[in-house]
Amino acid sequence: MPDVTLTVDGQKITAPAGTLLLEACKSHGIEIPAFCYYPGLSLQAACRMCVVRIEKMPKLQTACTTPVTAGMVVITDSPEIAQARKATLQLLLGNHPLDCPVCDAGGECELQDMTFKYGAADSFYTEPKNHREEQKWSPVVYFDRPRCILCYRCVRMCGEGMDIFALGIQNRGSSSVIAPNIPAQLSGVVENGVELAQLDCEQCGMCIDACPVGALTSGTYRYKTRPWEMNHVATVCTHCGDGCKTTLGVRSVSDGSQILRGDNRDKSGMNGDFLCNKGRYAFDFANNVERLTSPLVRHSDGTLKPVSWEEALTFAGTKLRDLRQQRGPNSIGVIGSNRTTNEENYLLQKFARTVIGTNNIDHHRTADFVTLATALQGTTGKFASQRDVEKAPALLLVGGDPTNQAPLTAWNIRTNVRLNKARLYVANHEEIKLRRQAKAFVQVAQFGYGAFVESLGADNDFSNAVRAEEQLIVIIGNELRGGELANLIKALPNAKFALLADYANSRGASDMGVLPDVLPGYQSLQGSTIASEYGAADAPGLDLLAMFDAAAAGNLSALYVVGSNPVKRFGIDPTALKSTFLIVQDLFLTETAALADVVFPAANLYEKSGSVTNSYGDLQLVSKAADKAGTRSDFELIVRLADHLGHDIKSLVPFGSQAKGLRADQGQTRGAESGEADRHAVWITANNLEPKLSPFDPFAILDEIQRLVPGYDKLLRLQLLSGNDQHIAPASSGLVQIENRKDLVLPSSDTLFTSGSLTRYSPMLQDVQRHQTTEVSGHLTSAD
């Protein structure tokens, strides 16, 4: 649209025609206060705070609903306007309690800020305030009616943004009230003889974030602390594979620093406004009393007993070394995690391949990234990023249920359809909720995605429409693997693709080569740069299930499991591991850890630094927010274990000076006759980086990842360290399609209220599940 020029407070500003006056002013640094206006949601003009004087208009106008026009002359600040806003505030404060000192929003409340600014604390209203007791609508959403200023933000957020419509406005005038979708008389929830209205929804808490005051408060945070008493750290959520940023409010406690709140008010990540239930509330597993805080070693009486770090590490390291010597490196297996950082994943597979000397490494795979990388090798711009989903003019969703499994993807699709009229095509074996946004929906038979992919070439309305799209983003659920996935990619040559996985770093685990048959960056075990540098075995190792088969057959001498619970997940018979030396490093005594000979208490993703890659390949920085005494990061534990195995740590983690001297070897001191040049030191120098000083510094491994892993070589440190996301595509070519590869993808089948093995350690998730299944069951009408 053409730009128009207008005058605001004597200043000439330019904005595209159709821009709202409020937005135009905001982008030029002129602040107009507003309570009901929320970017991206429909306009309400309910609060009257944004009134401005526009020349030639008889009355004050609301800047949030007035589009800019050429030659418009606007005054945003004058005694008249200040008086109007003050009067509005007095009206809003008519029923508002002055409980700021105990209110959760106190200190970060828009009404409080405005009252300070316009000085409307004195009220002319003499009538008593309309008081109502606070209501508990669900384990995570509480409503304090008198604080509500009826801006309707929550109602619109729930309806338009989340497509749930669980909140409404009832009654009228000064008795108007926000109401949840299950009225008191039908809820069946009685407390002190009073029936309570309940909320049946996705429990995302978006209404709480949008609330400009403290009317909606979070069940996990309310009355715990004040905003200024916490440190706020924006880091990546550990739950699903979408890569949302969650801002954690942390406070010092006697054993470290505890997370009290997760929210997204600073909109620090690519999730923009959005955060789901798990991102917002399910940090509480970190504070669970069942967290392991001491290494455990199985004693001769068969019980696990706490021991010192040194004792546990020495025992595990010595035993691993002995077993490697006696029964060979290929008798040892390593299982990695979907929730550890890229650096830890890379380090772990390097540990397996160079310290142990085996390719027996795998993880719980939740999507077939190997096929994705192989099918798209040698192309550029074919991997879709999360940000593409927000903007693309057309989207095809094949399989998957983003609403439940990848909530940000679902939010972006909905927002894109709502605001940009994007065309969404959905093919699914179930009637997923996103079909409500779809232009066309095809029901696929269960396990019938192969037939669907074939039908894309046929002449029918759906396929023709999809093929006619020039800029198509294809989002693929993890139902599609191997040949079906490759055929889908082949069938749509002009599209960009994304494959949905289930956990925070599922993609990272694959990209970093926590797989038995490929190296980091999906490089071949034979002949690739990494292969030559590792000098490891070139035959594929045992996959996860084969390791347990080997264990059952008595051929697996030791198994090292990092942040994973395969015994539960894959239904492994515990007796299979009776003759295997098992080392587990995890947060809790899971089914797998309970069988271990040595257990190391690990830090979770909120307690460490590093980077993670979401399902789309968007790389983001993980910042340490919380701290738990008695735990160590997985990174540190892997390095220490390697040390106790007697391995030269400098060859595992490139830290400090690599050569014998004080300075890093530049390669020029050693010729062909004295061996290989120190490639890492050469690369470090060429990239103007300093060698990292600590073997526990994840960035030392990030250096190596950037040097060796195709795709990650393009990463920009400034972007990463600034907390921005950047899109990484496995860029290598010459990848070999591995024939007869076993399909080991096991979708986690997590819902909005489960998160793998962490579910049972999160009291909030338990409460919400109970709420949704017992208290509000039978009312599952939530817009579906």
Dist CA 428 CA 677 (whole Å):
53
| Pick 198 or 405: Cβ nearer another protein | 198
Minimum distance from CB of 137 to another protein (Å)? 13
Minimum distance from CB of 172 to another protein (Å)? 5
Dist CA 668 CA 678 (whole Å):
9
Residues 142-181, interacting with another protein (CB under 8 A): 165-172, 179-181
The three-state secondary structure class of 504 is: coil
- Count Cβ atoms below 10 Å from residue 52 Cβ, excluding itself: 25
Check if the beta carbon of residue 33 is closer than 8 Å to that of residue 46.
no
781 binds another protein (CB under 8 A): yes
Minimum distance from CB of 397 to another protein (Å)? 24
Cα–chain center distance at 439: 28
| Pick 114 or 151: Cβ nearer another protein | 151
Minimum distance from CB of 196 to another protein (Å)? 16
- Cα distances (angstroms) measured from residue 610 to each of 46, 269, 597: 45, 16, 29
Which residue has 């007791």 as its token pair?
133
| Pick 451 or 780: Cβ nearer another protein | 780
Helices (H) then strands (E): counts for the chain: 26, 31
475 backbone dihedrals φ, ψ, rounded to 5°: -105, 125
780 binds another protein (CB under 8 A): no
| Pick 527 or 778: Cβ nearer another protein | 778
Which residue has 């738990």 as its token pair?
628
Check if the beta carbon of residue 518 is closer than 8 Å to that of residue 370.
yes
Dist CA 431 CA 434 (whole Å):
8
Beta bridge partners of 135: 143
| Pick 179 or 735: Cβ nearer another protein | 179
Minimum distance from CB of 519 to another protein (Å)? 53
| Pick 689 or 783: Cβ nearer another protein | 783
Minimum distance from CB of 177 to another protein (Å)? 9
| Pick 37 or 152: Cβ nearer another protein | 152
What does 399-450 look like in DSSP terms, one character per residue? Answer: S--HHHH-HHHHHHHHHHHHHH--EEEEEESS--GGGGG-SEEEE--TT-HH
- Name the pairing type of β-strands 256-263 and 3-8: unpaired
Minimum distance from CB of 696 to another protein (Å)? 53
| Pick 457 or 778: Cβ nearer another protein | 778
Residues 108-127, interacting with another protein (CB under 8 A): none
Length of the chain equals 784
Minimum distance from CB of 236 to another protein (Å)? 35
Residues 183-222, interacting with another protein (CB under 8 A): 183, 185-186
| Pick 44 or 510: Cβ nearer another protein | 44
Cα–chain center distance at 614: 7
Q: Contacts with another protein: how many residues (CB under 8 A)?
A: 16
Minimum distance from CB of 139 to another protein (Å)? 20
For residue 596 the two structure tokens come to 């271990």
| Pick 169 or 539: Cβ nearer another protein | 169
338 binds another protein (CB under 8 A): no
Residues 565-584, interacting with another protein (CB under 8 A): none
Minimum distance from CB of 155 to another protein (Å)? 9
The packing angle between helices 634-644 and 342-350, to 10°, is 20
Cα–chain center distance at 506: 11
Check if the beta carbon of residue 498 is closer than 8 Å to that of residue 475.
yes
Binding stretches for another protein (CB under 8 A): 165-172, 179-181, 183, 185-186, 781, 783
